[in-house]
Amino acid sequence: MELLKLNKITKTYRNPGSQVETQALEEISFALNEGEFLSIMGPSGSGKSTLMHIMGLLDRPSSGELFLRGQAVGQLTDDQAARIRNKEIGFVFQSFNLLPRVSVLENIILPLSYVGLAANQEKEMAQKVIAAVGMEHRQNFLPNQLSGGEQQRAAIARALVNNPSIIFADEPTGNLDSKSGQQVMTILQKLNKEGKTVVLVTHEQATAQHGTRMLQLKDGRLISDMPITNRRLAENEDGLGK
């Protein structure tokens, strides 16, 4: 089933105080089906993160249309987009974005505060995803007491806690050593095998090969959209080989 569809998505930024415009994306069109593991690859400045932000309803295109489950989302208010984002989408970023002064468990519970569940339900849901990423023994630790790989696993658990339809991972192994990166990719591939749709943004060919399909961007243009025929399986690797 088609989950997302992009129709001629263009994004142009205007520099403050001048008329100079920078085109980050130019007429990007493709569809994403449920259950895919899509790798978006390209060099720095190619438009990868901009595209992810638009697909994840964190930003709006300058022109073109985005559809989620067949519904055009361009006319949504910011509040409506935020509600859909909280329900349908989970994000994992290179910098982890964990709150430093609260525990792993409290970090993971945070997205549930917008749902209106009882405290015991929130804790139960959070502990379920903590177990899914193998972090039960660290749930009461603060982020600065964790390794980089453990922080990223906690961030994945936070992305999962609302049971989203799609997980966006923006350079999720960028700050990690090869062993920790392998663990993160193993988790993402396992989630995909269980039916989650995953979108991975990376500039590394070896990391991109963990997906099932690859888009390549260059200078804001989509230059290639191909299935990955020689997929790498993280659980069988010694490391990602930075």
Question: What is the pTM for the complete model shown?
Answer: 0.91
Q: Are 164 and 92 in contact (CB under 8 A)?
A: no
- Whole-Å CA distances, 115 to 32, 87, 118, 127: 27, 9, 9, 17
Q: What kind of fold does domain 34-60+78-227 have according to CATH?
A: Rossmann fold (3.40.50)
pLDDT in tens, 84-141: 998 899 999 888 889 999 999 999 998 887 777 888 999 999 999 999 999 999 999 9
For the segment 77-90, the average pLDDT, to the nearest whole number, is 90
- Look at residue 117 in the predicted model and tell me its pLDDT: 82
d(CA 239, CA 241): 6
pLDDT in tens, 157-169: 999 999 999 999 9
Task: List the chain domain ranges.
Answer: 34-60+78-227
Q: Are 149 and 176 in contact (CB under 8 A)?
A: yes
- Look at residue 239 in the predicted model and tell me its pLDDT: 46
pLDDT in tens, 171-186: 999 888 889 999 999 9
Specify the DSSP element, H or E, that contains 10: strand 2-14
Q: Does the pLDDT value for residue 240 go beyond 90?
A: no
